[in-house]
Structure 1
Amino acid sequence: MARKRNLFFFRLSTLKYLFFGIFLSLLIFFCQTKVVAQNPTQLNQKGFLQLHQGQASAALQTWQSAYLVYQKLNNTEGMTGSLINQSLALQANASYPRACKTLIQALEMADWVCRPVQLQRFSQTEYQERLNQALENQPMQKVRVIGLRNLGDVLRQLGKVDASSLVLHKAGEIAQNIGLEEPNLLLSLANTERSFYEQAKSKYELTDEPLAKQKALNTAQDKLLASLELYQKINSIPAKLNQLNLLLKSGNTNTHLIHSLVQELLAKEIQFSELPAIESIYARLHLAQCLIEINDKLPTALVLSQKALSLAEKSGNQRAESLALGTLANIYSHFGQEPQSLKYLQQAMGLAQSVQAWDIAYKWQWQLGQLYKKSNNIQNAIKAYAAAVHSLDQVRGSILSINPEIQFAFKDKVEPVYQEYMELLLSQDKPNFRQVIKIQEQLKLAELENFLQCGKIPALSLLDVEKITKLPHLVYLIKLNNRIEVIVRNPQGEFYYHNLELELVDNTIDELIDFTQNQRFNYFAEPNFLFAPQTIYKLLLAPIRQYLPEKGNLIFVLDTYFQNLPMSMLHDGEKYLVDSYNISVASSSQFSLNQPTTPGQLKALVAAIYEESPSFQDSSVPQNLNPLPEVEAEIKNIRKNVSTSELLNNQFTSDRFVQKIGNEPLPLVHVSTHAQFSSDPDQTFVLAWDRPMNVKDLNTLLKRQNNQSMIDLLVLSACQTAKGDRRSALGIAGLAAQSGARSTIATLWLVNSDATAQLISKFYEGLKDGLPKAEALRQAQLSLLSNPKYTHPYYWAAFVLVGAWE
């Protein structure tokens, strides 16, 4: 079994408690008056004792009682200290959202500080500015330093790394101004720098856009060095453990330093017993996980894990017990003792499920699936993988906030669960294709949510849609490791299937995408590029063509790997696919049971820029953008076919655009301005007059309007995918999801403006005549294909319809 680098970061630190003990007088007002409740000093001491023994829930109740006593005494400082103490108990239970709310109450800050990104009603830039302003109002007090440090830790656990850094640096400023030495603050800063590294590393792995990839790599390298330097300055067990773990995880080759840290930590093992109970457990597990990476240290890792398990059982902390059992299972797997590993995994899974710790339950279920598969126990393997996917689905929207380890490791710790499960299902003599499709849809949604970091996206499965309305033929293209799986589902619900080795078509797909992204693509003669679309058709579609109709609607459900492919351009040796089919690309996040707009309801918001705007100079957009004067002709053609409400040039600001959508809900939204799609959400934008609107901004702006109306069709007619980015079309799906549109039309590359104007005109003519969207788009494409001036695929094949085809 492959080694799993499960990290168990300390939620609290020993010095945190020592600090509270030293400065307890700051948190407790010694009141001589007798009150009905217990003495708050005794309550505080009792709470710390409970927390040290691993009884976080009991400690929380005790500190809540202390707060009520301070409240009766009108002791503001005591109330603040009690709230901070309560946050410690909540952190120990991994209840980070509640801990955050408790801390902002203690620090007298607004609740938007803790609000998830998807629920914010202002942009990330505005959030940072507001947070800075709120921090400026913090009084210069020791108790505020403690509170801010804890808030910084919690915000990091919630995935708000930038906010964590701001808060911790402000805590450092106050500490310096009042002459306070706060050693734990340096550890918090080091942990936040580490999260910046993990974040940049994840972006590097997930994006294919060359400039964004290089920027992410540079950031990752800088933050890795910064965090290691900070850990080096701190002489504490948590810092040494985190330093060792980061060295191993980053592939550092400084074996002397790694060996030195291991020896130092093993020599200090006796000090682990002096830590609070929960700290002692996580410290041992943290060190054991590190030692698993070092072959000759497995026996030591076993002893540490067994001791951690014993302590966890005594404390009654079932989450910690589950983590200890899972670590033991990992160790026995490395020893080759599979029965023992299986036993511990089953116990770990049971405990995690009993406390609904789905973020760790899925790991044990996943590993169980791998173990069963290895022993050829296929039915149990399928059950285990199904359970893992179910656990992930339980927390799909919140897992980014409750477990940063997963947030920044989607490629390694989430995606493989779905892919391995689909591989297992397809390896059966009679594959369950419906289940494969269901898992594929869940993976696509999880990937989109990870891309947007937006929480759980409301979605309607194609399998649910087919219960209500008859679906056309569906073609699924799925990439699983070194194979491509092609599944066809016909309107009668029958499935047909074939697969092929990825290497047979991989280079050809790259070749076709390179052709289409070349600025001189329209100058290439057919003999120079036709081999690629013909080869792709021959390998992917020809084997299943007999199961497809001669003409009509065809819905492609594409892996991200295929989404940059212009499917209408595939060629059977005689004609392009668009000659036969009305083509659309499915996105389950966009399917709606709402009825499509009828010809009599056609009214469009047209937002367009055809002059040079200030946003052209924004540092985040590509250089040398040119105005789009032909957009004027495009707008005139739209007016001929539909009623319009318009925002042109300097009227098309980001705020006005969203206000218009909110105040005057229209079924069609047509945007003619520079736009780019990328696998980096920060590089996926639509250019308004004043600034670029990226996908996160669009989500925030639309939520600010509380817009409840469904946009039936969003058209982006002057956009392109980022060059060199194989996953850039993920940005189309992201933008479509954030807009809430039922269907979206976009272009994979920037098309000649004259051709675009003509195609758009024909498309709206088709809608006016009552054609479904997919058919209207196809007729518009064929009108160019039949025009000698525009017959080249450059002019018509870039247009894709994502979402509902009707």
Structure 2
Amino acid sequence: MQCYRFRLKSLLFLTSLLLCLWLNHLPSIAESVPGNQLVQQGVELYQAGDFKRAIAPWQTALEYYQETHNLTNTAIIRENLARTYQQLGQMEQAIEYWQQVIADYRQLGDRQNLGRNLTELAQAYTTTGQPRNAIALLCDASASPTDCQPETALYIARTTEDNQGEAAALGSLGNAHLLTGNYEDAIADLEASLAINHPAYHTSTLNSLGNAYTRQGQHQERYADSAQQRGAKQRASQFRQKALNDYQQAFGYFQQSLELARRSQDQPNQMGALLNLIKLAQHPLISPQIDAAQINQALKEALDLLNQLPDSRNLVYAAIDLANLQPAVSTITPKQYQCPPRQLPSLAESLLQQALSIAQRLEDSRSESFALGELGHFYECQNDYRQALQFTQKARLAADQNRQAQDSLYLWEWQAARLFQAQGNPEQAIAAYQRAIATLTDIRQELLMADSDVQFDFRDRINPLHRDFAQYQLERVERLPVTEAQLEIESALKTIDALKLAELQNYFGNDCLFTPIPQKSVEQLVGDDTAIFRSIIFNNHTAILLTLPNKPTQLKWINIDSQTLRETVNEFRRGLERRRDLIYDPKPAQNLYNWIIRPFITDLDAAGINTLVFSQDGILRSIPMAALHNGESFLVETYAIATTPSLTLTAPQHLTDESLQVLALGLTAKATVNGQTFPALTHVKSELQQLESLFPGSKTLLDDDFTRDRLQAELSQTVYPILHIATHGQFSAVPEDTFLVTGNNNKLTLKDLETTIRQVSQGSDSVDLLALTACQTAVGDERATLGLAGIAVQSGVKTALASLWFIPDASTKTLITEYYHNWSNPGMSKAQALSLAQRKLIQAENSPEINNQYVHPAYWAPFILIGNWR
């Protein structure tokens, strides 16, 4: 975890190095009055780096100018105080003063200073992880992508021909866009700022451009990792080359920023550029191209600067960053995961102590919490648990002080949990884990709003917390008495459900809030004939949990490591998709059956179970459980099967409306989207015609009529319980690249679909079933399957029927028609309807009208039911 916590805290430091309009250039009071001496005294203290002592004379001067009703000088003093509190890291006070300053300049009618202070307030919002608030102050181009709204900072700067204010506003806007993950706009804004001839800002702007290209490179690397997982080696190589190009651009910008900072003796920006250079140079992708001597010199320079700069929150983070620097390594082994190697092992402790001393002198509880927590982690890695716990407890207190560092509190609660666990104190370990998850749940939306890359870094920053806790709970079960063991399993199930909920929310991003349904509704949904299988994957083994009606939950382990499990699962799925193999080899399917189902088969038979519902984890989400094989038959030949991202997200209602209507949309023509060609679907037209005959009053939109606008118009006029879309769909590692192909070579993103359904059709109260045929997710891409797993929840429908991979539309027509025919029978559940349709293809030799080749699981297995299976 340490290497990833370092990344999170580094972001806090880097984004605080924004364009400061007046750093060491405070506005002064012109006239010679009693308050002027106090103002000058504060300015001298500020410029000497004694920010804390500068406050008192300014506060006294502020009272004088307020009493004499001198609004101009009142505004100037408030500006100075705002900047000083920002330097001290006390952002709430800084924001409060800037809001007052903005009101002052509005009252004075001073448009130029109004615009400039809007920019400074925006920078404060960005520093505190509120980039969207910053964007609203700086431009707010929501109504028009090219024009800023009136009374925003950039609009005011341009209308008053304030080039300096425009450069600052553009730079700040670029940093805000960077934090939202909008790299293209961030780079454009920063380049526009750089083009304005104000050299004083160029150092910061170049540094920010380096950050933007670094983050864009990280984004490309994540695409590469996703492609690598699914075996697309060429695509992975392309993405890595793009990442390398971005890193090279970033390194060049950091070098330019450093040279400018050196020439202008701008030590704060010099430190920022040095740290960025050093950290980027450690990246395995670019490190072979970097001169080691140059980086060693930069590291020496940064260490020297650390003792020259005045106390500030940035200096605290700089010391922590230096302590946590890692050597360039290509991988972090599981053993190193918690405690990766340090580049400066002999200096790490003293650097962290230095960071703590600075934070304590500043009385900055936020940066103090990071310094204390990192010291705790340092001693944790030395196996000095007593001292580690002392620092960690202090970090918790500092983080919780006035709620100044809630986004770090969960880290220290998690750290305390590990330490209690290492000391053999299970009660306190469990309590600390629970506090960590509760804190994280409270702040997760703020994290998402602050940085869209948290969606990707979730596996690194947040996901391991839930897994650590669940693993600790489940591994204790065998050592506990029966009653306590069952309580521990029930608690672990809540942890697992919380993990699945968090995974979905992080995949879909900041606009998505899922509300779990009450436990009573979950029990109502399950019924007496249904068994629930849950899985959770750990490094060395995988837990399978079975819940039967009115029975305690059972736990069994798959005792293989996660990599072996991944390889087995991928082999199983690749075998399913090879429809050219005339004889299907069921051995991989039998292996998985033996691991997941066979340990529980006696209990399933005894309970009279006819429906299995799977809430899967990780790579297990990417395969159809229907195709597991017991040596004689497929699992779906015995049970109806469904899947759900989480029981707590599955609505329990059963559709009772007998007059079902379908809005059917389809594409028959060949299409090209995003440079990718999708083949024609020649049987889609007859597939949709079959639906119209089964469900009178239905409507079809085919080919050119299949557009987002037509979909929206139809849903706004008529309530359709069934929305059937027969077209190519692609589910990717990121929601933005998950889409359905529509007419005229256009696409409908998952976000478009969700928005359309929710806006015009009362959301989850109207659409009972969303069917997507001809969709596909890539083998081995477990993140892509989150989009498929969560589509029912995200789009606001009760159930989704979709395919894991693309198959010829002739067999799809056969299976889908059979499914709807089955489901139209009274009392037939969706899961039963699908299982009967799949069985009919499995027994194709008994039905002359069905092609015998459809017996191969490639043709029937990919269809899965997601959500409410009733």
Q: Distance in 1 between the 2:856 and 2:343 partners?
A: 63
2:547 is the alignment partner of 1:513? no
Instruction: Give how far 1:539 is off.
Output: 2.6
Task: Find the partner of 1:200 among 184, 200, 220.
Answer: 220
Q: 2:522 touches 2:652 (CA, 8 Å); kept in 1?
A: no
Deviations 1:176-216, CA, capped at 9 Å, x for gaps: 4x787632111111111122123233343455342654443
Q: Distance in 2 between the 1:70 and 1:727 partners?
A: 50
The AA in structure 2 aligned to 1:270 is N
Aligned to 1:618: 673
Alignment map for 1:237-636 (pairs within 5 Å): 237-248=271-282, 250=284, 252=287, 255-273=292-310, 277-290=312-325, 297-356=344-403, 357-402=405-450, 406-428=454-476, 429=478, 430=480, 431=485, 432-460=488-516, 463=519, 465-471=521-527, 472-502=530-560, 506-518=566-578, 521-526=579-584, 529-549=585-605, 550-588=608-646, 591-593=649-651, 595-612=653-670, 616-620=671-675, 622-623=676-677, 625-636=678-689
The AA in structure 2 aligned to 1:617 is T
Going from structure 1 to structure 2, the CA distance change for 1:166 and 1:51 (only over 3 Å counts) comes to: same
2:773 is the alignment partner of 1:748? no
Aligned to 1:117: none
Aligned to 2:698: 644
Q: Distance in 2 between the 1:221 and 1:14 partners?
A: 24
Instruction: Give how far 1:258 is off.
Output: 3.5
Task: Find the partner of 2:91 among 42, 46, 56.
Answer: 56
The AA in structure 1 aligned to 2:711 is F
Q: 2:519 touches 2:648 (CA, 8 Å); kept in 1?
A: no
Deviates more, 1:423-432 or 1:2-11: 2-11
Deviations 1:58-81, CA, capped at 9 Å, x for gaps: 333333332222222211112112
Instruction: Give how far 1:231 is off.
Output: 1.1
Instruction: Give how far 1:375 is off.
Output: 2.9
3-state SS in 2 of match to 1:10 = helix
Going from structure 1 to structure 2, the CA distance change for 1:16 and 1:303 (only over 3 Å counts) comes to: farther
Q: 2:524 touches 2:652 (CA, 8 Å); kept in 1?
A: no
Number of aligned positions between the proteins: 774
Instruction: Give how far 1:634 is off.
Output: 0.9
Deviations 1:16-59, CA, capped at 9 Å, x for gaps: 44755559599xxxxx9984535423332333334334443333
Going from structure 1 to structure 2, the CA distance change for 1:40 and 1:551 (only over 3 Å counts) comes to: closer
Instruction: Give how far 1:314 is off.
Output: 3.3
Deviations 1:699-731, CA, capped at 9 Å, x for gaps: 455566585444210111222223564554333
Deviations 1:564-609, CA, capped at 9 Å, x for gaps: 2221121212221111111001123884546332252411110111
Deviations 1:233-269, CA, capped at 9 Å, x for gaps: 2221111012222333557366434322221112222
Going from structure 1 to structure 2, the CA distance change for 1:347 and 1:574 (only over 3 Å counts) comes to: same
Going from structure 1 to structure 2, the CA distance change for 1:473 and 1:448 (only over 3 Å counts) comes to: same
Task: Find the partner of 1:234 among 235, 245, 257.
Answer: 257
Q: Distance in 2 between the 1:71 and 1:239 partners?
A: 36
Instruction: Give how far 1:436 is off.
Output: 1.9
Q: Distance in 2 between the 1:67 and 1:243 partners?
A: 37
Going from structure 1 to structure 2, the CA distance change for 1:130 and 1:463 (only over 3 Å counts) comes to: farther
The AA in structure 1 aligned to 2:13 is F
Going from structure 1 to structure 2, the CA distance change for 1:592 and 1:3 (only over 3 Å counts) comes to: closer
Q: Kindly report the root-mean-square deviation, in angstroms, between the aligned alpha carbons of the 2 structures.
A: 3.4
Task: Give TM-score, length-normalised by structure 1.
Answer: 0.88
Deviates more, 1:659-668 or 1:584-593: 584-593
Instruction: Give how far 1:409 is off.
Output: 2.2
Aligned to 2:748: 693
Q: Distance in 2 between the 1:180 and 1:734 partners?
A: 48
Q: Distance in 2 between the 1:108 and 1:748 partners?
A: 42
Going from structure 1 to structure 2, the CA distance change for 1:330 and 1:257 (only over 3 Å counts) comes to: farther
Task: Find the partner of 1:109 among 135, 140, 161.
Answer: 140
3-state SS in 2 of match to 1:457 = coil
Instruction: Give how far 1:448 is off.
Output: 2.2
Q: Distance in 1 between the 2:430 and 2:779 partners?
A: 39
Alignment map for 1:160-179 (pairs within 5 Å): 160-173=182-195, 175-176=196-197
Aligned to 1:185: 205
Deviations 1:266-299, CA, capped at 9 Å, x for gaps: 22223222x6x22332332332333897758345
Q: Distance in 2 between the 1:179 and 1:305 partners?
A: 35
Going from structure 1 to structure 2, the CA distance change for 1:244 and 1:507 (only over 3 Å counts) comes to: closer
Q: 2:542 touches 2:560 (CA, 8 Å); kept in 1?
A: yes
Instruction: Give how far 1:406 is off.
Output: 4.3
Task: Find the partner of 2:865 among 798, 801, 804.
Answer: 801
Going from structure 1 to structure 2, the CA distance change for 1:260 and 1:778 (only over 3 Å counts) comes to: same
The AA in structure 2 aligned to 1:749 is W
Deviations 1:742-785, CA, capped at 9 Å, x for gaps: 11111122233232222222211222212111111112222222
The AA in structure 2 aligned to 1:677 is F
Instruction: Give how far 1:346 is off.
Output: 1.1
Q: Distance in 2 between the 1:668 and 1:765 partners?
A: 14
Q: 2:26 touches 2:80 (CA, 8 Å); kept in 1?
A: no
The AA in structure 2 aligned to 1:219 is K
Q: 1:658 touches 1:705 (CA, 8 Å); kept in 2?
A: yes
3-state SS in 2 of match to 1:548 = helix
Q: 1:681 touches 1:731 (CA, 8 Å); kept in 2?
A: yes
Instruction: Give how far 1:102 is off.
Output: 5.1
The AA in structure 1 aligned to 2:253 is L
Deviations 1:84-103, CA, capped at 9 Å, x for gaps: 233344445x1524xx4356
- Identical counterparts, % of pairs: 24
**Structure 1 unaligned regions, length at least 5:** 27-31, 114-126
Instruction: Give how far 1:652 is off.
Output: 0.3
Q: Distance in 2 between the 1:371 and 1:593 partners?
A: 39
3-state SS in 1 of match to 2:491 = helix
Q: 2:666 touches 2:703 (CA, 8 Å); kept in 1?
A: yes
Q: 1:678 touches 1:684 (CA, 8 Å); kept in 2?
A: yes
3-state SS in 2 of match to 1:679 = coil
Q: 2:645 touches 2:790 (CA, 8 Å); kept in 1?
A: no
Going from structure 1 to structure 2, the CA distance change for 1:726 and 1:447 (only over 3 Å counts) comes to: closer
2:804 is the alignment partner of 1:781? no
Q: Distance in 1 between the 2:574 and 2:599 partners?
A: 25
Q: 1:564 touches 1:726 (CA, 8 Å); kept in 2?
A: yes
Q: 2:226 touches 2:733 (CA, 8 Å); kept in 1?
A: yes
3-state SS in 2 of match to 1:487 = strand
Instruction: Give how far 1:675 is off.
Output: 1.4
The AA in structure 2 aligned to 1:692 is K
Q: 1:302 touches 1:328 (CA, 8 Å); kept in 2?
A: yes
